[in-house]
């Protein structure tokens, strides 16, 4: 098993990896818009910008484990406010529209910080190397 970690303070605090690869499968943990250096939430007033930042972090994690965004097969998006659904959906389409993975968006979630508007997790399947 391969693991990828970042400077996200919650990874160390709670003891998990940003992403794990087992065989051809890559599982990316729920990812929020956190600055790994400061631990502060980026873009606290924009679900769209948070989602863009999150997708960039997810793609970095997948790349670190030998895949790329075209390998994404499933995405789960969790948002606090239904009014943010269109913004997050737009960010999703911009990030993965051509890939068109299976996706779910759940509304009404609470996160460990009230500044977190969005959390996203993803699964990818890559070939054996």
- Residue pLDDT, tens place only, 12-68: 889 999 999 999 999 999 999 998 778 899 999 999 999 999 999 999 999 999 999
Query: Structural domain boundaries of the chain?
Result: 2-125
Distance separating alpha carbons of residues 115 and 35, to the nearest angstrom: 13
- Residue pLDDT, tens place only, 2-14: 999 888 888 888 9
Q: What is the CATH number of domain 2-125?
A: 3.30.1330.40
Q: Containing H/E element for 21?
A: strand 19-22
Distance separating alpha carbons of residues 105 and 41, to the nearest angstrom: 21
- Residue pLDDT, tens place only, 95-118: 999 999 999 999 998 898 899 999
Q: Containing H/E element for 50?
A: helix 47-64
Distance separating alpha carbons of residues 18 and 109, to the nearest angstrom: 20
Could you tell me the pTM of the whole model? 0.93
Distance separating alpha carbons of residues 119 and 105, to the nearest angstrom: 10
């Amino acid at each position: 098993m391969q693991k990828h970690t970042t400077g996200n303070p919650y990874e160390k605090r709670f003891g998990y990896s940003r992403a794990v690869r087992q065989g051809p499968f890559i599982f990316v943990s729920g990812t929020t818009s956190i600055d790994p250096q400061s631990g502060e939430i980026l873009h606290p007033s924009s679900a769209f910008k948070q989602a863009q930042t999150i997708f960039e972090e997810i793609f970095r994690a997948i790349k670190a484990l030998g895949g790329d965004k075209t390998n994404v097969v499933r995405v789960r998006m969790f948002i606090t406010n239904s009014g943010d659904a269109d913004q997050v959906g737009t960010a999703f389409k911009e990030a993965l529209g051509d890939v068109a993975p299976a996706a779910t968006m759940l509304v009404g979630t609470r996160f460990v910080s009230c500044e977190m508007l969005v959390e996203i997790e993803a699964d990818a399947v890559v070939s054996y190397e």
